[in-house]
Amino acid sequence: MIPQGIRYLPVVVIFLGIFAANSLFIVSETEQVVITQLGRPVGEPISQAGMHFKIPLIQRANFFEKRVMKWDGNPNQIPTRDKKYIWVDTTARWRIKDPLLFLQRVGSVDTALSRLTGIIDSVVRDYVSNNELVELVRSEGWEDARQSLVEAGGPDFALFSIQAGGGQTEEIPDRLTKGREKITREMVAEASRLLPEYGIELMDIRIKRINYVDTVQQKVFDRMISERKRIAAQYRSQGEGERAAILGQMEKELAKITSEAFRTSQEIRGKADAEATRIYAAAFQKNPGFYEFYRTLEAYRNFDNAKSSFILSTDADIFKYLKDSGETSKK
């Protein structure tokens, strides 16, 4: 027969297993635990990883995230101080700093996200409404980037202007007293004053996206396209001006070269005519009769001209050799 003590051994093992399962719990590196007894917290929060003990059925382990968590807000339509209606989409990072206080005041992560939505949305709306659009878009160090751009030979900084909601173009101030980074830090400081009572620590607030509302956005795009077309036309006009200047300089240089070539050719031709005249004069001095005869024969050769009429008497000197040739033949 099986001893009575051994007969109840499986029951005891099962009971001990159930007891251990309800009394032992494991805390991971990313978790922190608050023990509650009949709904009331007991002891200090547990943040050290490992195996821990609690009284089964009476005590309960409430697990909370130790890591930094993310909050995403809904995009809101907010007017800026300079009366520009924009969509603002924000996000934030937060963590549970005091799990005991978090359990007492909030209870769950979903409730905490709801509280964060109310607080952060209110702070973001206040700071967007109290600042101008240029301050929300640009950083306070933008003027240094502008100077670097100008020194690097970049395009005219006037191109980087802000299109106002009413259609006019506003130039960016030389130096911004505030920028997005400073405004978001002020948002964090303002919202952090309201969150410690919930055991929450706000790490950061970031503006993910800023855009005009739909009723204004298309008009802004049209103005941007028109502005870029104007700039392109300006560049084309400048190019045409440069082209005309280059062509004018080319024509000027061409006229100068042609004039110099003509002057040089005339000088050479004048020197050649002078040399020919000198040779003719020297030949005439050696034998004036022959030279006169030669020049007269050349005149006979070129005498026929269909476009001209000559009226000469028979006593003209040009016919002297013709007359002499007739008398010579008679002799």
pLDDT at position 8 is 59
Q: Tokens 């009572």 belong to which residue?
A: 197
pTM: 0.56
What domains sit in the chain, N to C, each tagged with a CATH number?
Answer: 4-65 (no CATH), 69-212 (3.30.479.30), 288-331 (no CATH)
Q: What span, in angstroms and rounded, lies between the C-alpha atoms of 243 and 240? A: 5
pLDDT at position 251 is 93
Beta strands in the chain (DSSP E): 24-27, 31-37, 40-46, 50-53, 59-65, 69-72, 76-79, 85-96, 162-163, 169-170, 200-212
Q: How far is CA 49 from CA 44, 249, 274, in A?
A: 14, 84, 118
Helix, strand, coil distribution of the chain in percent, nearest 5: 55, 20, 25
pLDDT in tens, the chain (331 residues): 556 556 656 655 565 556 555 678 888 888 999 888 888 888 888 888 888 888 887 888 899 999 999 999 888 888 888 888 888 999 999 999 999 999 999 989 999 999 999 999 999 999 999 988 888 888 766 566 666 666 766 554 444 444 444 444 455 555 556 788 888 899 999 999 988 899 999 999 998 888 887 777 777 788 889 999 999 999 999 999 999 999 999 999 999 999 999 999 999 999 999 988 888 777 777 777 777 777 777 777 766 667 777 676 666 666 666 666 555 555 4
